[in-house]
């Protein structure tokens, strides 16, 4: 179950300002990455494969790694 008090206390340990700035920057980076993913997927035949397997996986991996590092500090 989702415990809201625990979530809010974890965010408070990081700091609300740092958390909000991080999420805004992450959204901007993900937006640019999705645009790149769309351009790569336009390559005939192999573009979709490259976009899904390599670029898409890398984006997800880096997103969650950066979130983990934010809360590890």
* Rounded-to-integer distance, Cα 15 and Cα 9, Å: 10
Distance CA 66, CA 43 (A): 29
What are the tens digits of pLDDT across the range 4-37? Answer: 999 889 889 888 998 899 999 999 998 998 898 8
DSSP H helices in 1-73: 4-14, 16-40, 47-50, 56-72
Look at phi and psi of residue 15 and say left if phi exceeds 0, alpha if psi is from -120 to 50, else beta: left
pLDDT at 65: 92
Name the pTM for this structure. Answer: 0.74
């Amino acid at each position: 179950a989702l415990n809201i008090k625990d979530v809010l206390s974890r965010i408070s340990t990081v700091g609300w300002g740092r958390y909000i700035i991080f999420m805004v920057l992450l959204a901007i980076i993900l937006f640019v990455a999705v645009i790149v993913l769309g351009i790569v997927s336009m390559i005939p035949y192999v573009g979709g494969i490259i976009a899904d397997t390599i670029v898409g996986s890398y984006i997800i991996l880096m997103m969650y790694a950066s979130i983990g590092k934010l809360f590890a500090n």
